[in-house]
Amino acid sequence: MMLQDIGAEIYQTWSEQQRREEIGKLVQGYQAGLSVAILCMMAASIAGSPAKAKKHLKALMTLKERRAAVAKVIDTADTHSLASSFLL
């Protein structure tokens, strides 16, 4: 079993409210300097899918915040694409 699978198993037992709260903590982490790639990947793991993560992130961040997050991604095209798919 891989380390990332351990978290996924735990997250599956959580209620949607617990998931929202935990993703909210990730958003706070992002606002304090956490990378957008980590925000998106961890949110997907916690939510159970990228689509569910996108719903949580849209609820927790304003459109202006999400657009700014995508605009400031300068790492790679892959990271920019990842951020766009989760935040816009």
Query: How far is the C-alpha of 62 from the C-alpha of 7, rounded, in Å?
Result: 27
C-alpha closest to that of 23 among 10, 41, 6, 5: 41
23 contacts 46 by C-beta, under 8 angstroms? yes
pLDDT tens for the chain, 88 residues long, are 444 566 778 888 999 999 999 999 999 999 999 999 999 999 999 999 999 999 999 999 999 999 999 998 887 788 889 999 999 9
**pTM for the full predicted model:** 0.87
Q: According to the model, what pLDDT value does residue 24 have?
A: 98
Ordered by start, the domain boundaries in the chain are 3-87
CB 67 within 8 A of CB 83: no
80: number of Cβ within 10 Å: 17
What would the two tokens of residue 35 be? 């990378």
